[in-house]
Chains A and B, each alone.
Chain A
């Protein structure tokens, strides 16, 4: 009897040891995965794309009620601000009519000048408008999942816009879903210029609401309110796409408030400008496909 319980005790100890060992090896596996993610991005990307394709239809269905919630919230907001909004819109309409006239004149002038110069226009971009099915909220990653992938012609590195303003770029593409890296994400670096001073910089996200400008030459005068647009350098985006306005200049750090409001994005447009893109992980096989 005593011997029997001794065996049981030893078995229990062994079992406990095995459990400890399993736990520790899983912890080690997590670290190994982190290293793998740093080293072999291609393999990790394939995994993400596959899983993304699997969950996309589920997220697509689940995200539909979220649209209803936002409609109700915005409906209540709109009702409260109806009168004030009307006054504001009247004023805005007056200003816009003025700008409309100016734009027409400039357009005519532009066309005339282009005719004189034998100007070769940029190729017409192709569009894919698609629904946002996932927003990976949280403080760690700023990205979105959209409901189109390779099948619809979405390619890595393409620009994603909402209305006229830049949202981000395509970071991963699966067969039927793709991930948009928002311009506020810490891994987002976009070549930009300040519209008035034509000063070049790199707009770098840091997972806060307001990305900052890097590599801005120190004697540039950047003031709050200045518009920031894409510069087109590096070939990832066409030049002149509106991004945001400078919101603050403090201790040499220039922060930009993007025009895009993340919570309002229900549909976004993926634009193919026929530009090669500068993303290093685009393999030669993908290049040939284009």
Chain B
């Protein structure tokens, strides 16, 4: 199992795949889309990543990592510090606790699970940010954001499944 140094390095890099993909989605989210009307309702892609890896490979996305990823997201997005950390942590925890219900089921169950957990996460984010700013944010925009995020789930999870097959199959 030990293998040579190179093999161990290779293994180490592969373990980094979920974190790396989440970071990539955080950066993608911060990119200007330049499509009319897209910016206010752009999906919160990193939540998909946290959810997906929490139920496929929870060992590679422990709570501390989810927390750190949230921090990175908040810093880049300019949102109040700690909000995404809390949201990612709770998504991770919720998914982990429902893992037995979700794993080994058809894709639709996973999507439904994301609908529940993802919309809960965005609702939490909405209430936290509204509380910090002391002003209720427009609910319609948030609803659209939930819709967009949930409808991006099939594409993102399909890409992740490919990545998982290609890079994490051996372990």
Contacts and interface: CB of A to CB of B under 8 A. Distances in A.
B168 to A, nearest CB: 22
A69 interface: yes
Contact of B86 (A31, A37, A143, A187): A31
Interface residues of B, number: 50
Contact of A63 (B31, B37, B135): B31
A29 B135 contact: no
B137 A136 contact: no
A51 B81 CA distance: 13
B79 A55 contact: no
Given A29-B67, A31-B86, A266 B34 contact: yes
Report the interface size class on chain A.
Answer: 35 or more
Contact of A26 (B37, B41, B89): B89
B141 interface: yes
A186 interface: yes
A52 B63 contact: no
Interface string B52-93: 000000000001100100111001111111110110011001
Nearest to B96: A23
B33 interface: yes
A134 interface: yes
A133 B32 contact: yes
B27 interface: yes
A141 interface: yes
B138 A206 contact: yes
Interface in B13-44: 27-42, 44
- Interface on chain B toward A: helix, strand, loop, or mixed SS? helix
Given A48-B75, A262-B39, A265-B32, A139 B145 contact: yes
Contacts, number: 165
Interface stretch (B4-12, B103-111, B125-133, B150-158): B125-133
Nearest to B29: A137
B43 to A, nearest CB: 8
Interface of A is mostly: helix
A179 B40 CA distance: 17
B161 interface: no
Contact of B81 (A37, A139, A179): A37
B81 A52 contact: no
B142 interface: yes
A179 B77 CA distance: 10
A34 B79 CA distance: 10
Nearest to B26: A55
A287 B71 CA distance: 30
Please name the 3 residue pairs, one residue from A and one from B, whose CB atoms are nearest each other, closest first: A33-B82, A137-B42, A70-B34
Given A23-B93, A37-B80, A136-B79, 12 more contacts: A33-B82, A34-B81, A34-B83, A34-B128, A55-B76, A136-B78, A137-B42, A140-B126, A171-B78, A206-B135, A209-B40, A262-B39
Interface of B: 27-42, 44, 63-64, 67, 70-72, 75-83, 85-86, 89-90, 93, 125-126, 128-129, 132-133, 135, 137-138, 141-142, 144-145
Interface of A: 19, 22-23, 26-27, 29-34, 36-38, 44, 47-48, 51-52, 55, 58-59, 62-63, 66-67, 69-70, 73, 132-145, 171-172, 179, 186-187, 206-209, 261-266
